[in-house]
Amino acid sequence: MPERDVVAHNAMISVLGKNGYIMEARKLFDGMGEKKSSSWNSMITCFCKLGDVDSARMIFDYRQMKNVVSWNAMIDGYCKFDQLTIARELFDCIGYIKNNVTWNTMISAYIQYKEFGRALLTFRQMQAEHVKPVEITMVYGKEAIDVFLKMKDQRMKLDRVICIGNLCGCSHSGLVSEGRKYFSKMLGVYGIHPGVDHYGCMVNLLGRARNLMIKRGFYKTPGCSSIEVDNVFNKFMVGDTSHPQFTQINTFLDEIAKKLNGLGHEPDKAFVFHDIDEVGKKRAH
């Protein structure tokens, strides 16, 4: 079957499945002379989205050569219908081909069903396999704090990884006050020395709206960015110093930069505009 025909069939299967015509989609799938991986994945996804995970699993098991999209679709299907035990079995069987979607699906499901301990263990496993928390969202905002507080209530030992998860959640939702509060308590209250990853989370938290570039403008057409922080909409122009917390934000960022420098962190200047000096590049990064 020509490639364009395969693409057309896959698109048609997807459309039929999304609109509830699952039998028609299956008939079209069965009639395909040549099936690509995308064809199998489209059919698996159709059944999962309609809640028929048993039929999806039959197609999944029949297909011998599975790619990560197939695995992710099945794991997500089981998670959405509260079958976390089976989802975890597949998760553990997938092996080295796990990607960020795989991790995010499993951890998010544990959070959704209040399995905080399992979410933490999976997050630690993710860390052990060198998947950085900035590349995957463990939990978002208030959920991150809820997990953190729940673990404290259960007297679970807090460690560097748990703090990273909490700060990442604050960072992704722009919870500046909460993030700064927990960061400031790391050493004095929790007895955990902040490392490069923790400082990195704080840089992301405060620099998400490109605040790092505001203090030193580029003498070009000013760029504009915006972010909602603590339910307040903030708009920034490059070189603009009118934000009411401009001084506090830049002072805190400078302190973090010094800490990172002391820990041996070297800024990546490859993606900084080349018409500023070396000092400017380091600060802009």
SS (H, E, C) the chain: CCHHHHHHHHHHHHHHHHCCCHHHHHHHHHCCCCCCHHHHHHHHHHHHHCCCHHHHHHHHHHCCCCCHHHHHHHHHHHHHCCCHHHHHHHHHHCHHHCCHHHHHHHHHHHHHCCCHHHHHHHHHHHHHCCCCHHHCCCCCCHHHHHHHHHHHHCCCCCCHHHHHHHHHHHHHHCCHHHHHHHHHHHHHCCCCCCCHHHHHHHHHHHHCCCHHHCCCCCCCCCCEEEEEECCEEEEEECCCCCCCCHHHHHHHHHHHHHHHHHCCCCCCCCCCCCCCCHHHHHHHC
Distance of alpha carbon 282 from alpha carbon 179, whole angstroms: 24
**Could you count the other beta carbons within 10 Å of the beta carbon of residue 201?**
26
Q: What is the pLDDT of residue 92?
A: 94
Full pLDDT tens readout for the chain, 285 residues: 455 577 788 788 888 877 888 888 888 888 887 778 888 888 898 899 888 999 999 999 988 788 999 999 999 999 999 999 999 999 999 988 898 889 989 988 887 887 877 877 787 788 788 776 544 445 555 676 777 777 777 777 778 877 887 887 777 777 888 888 889 999 888 889 988 888 888 888 887 646 556 555 544 455 555 555 555 556 656 556 666 666 776 777 777 777 767 766 665 554 444 444 444 444 444
Q: What is the pLDDT of residue 83?
A: 94
Angle between helices 116-128 and 100-112 (to 10 degrees): 160
Angle between helices 246-262 and 196-207 (to 10 degrees): 160
Distance of alpha carbon 180 from alpha carbon 165, whole angstroms: 14
Distance of alpha carbon 178 from alpha carbon 188, whole angstroms: 16
**Contacts with 238 (C-beta within 8 Å, 6 or more apart), sequence order:** 210, 213, 214, 217, 218, 220, 222, 223, 224
pTM for the whole structure: 0.55
Domain spans, the chain: 209-285
Q: What is the pLDDT of residue 212?
A: 55
Q: What is the pLDDT of residue 136?
A: 47
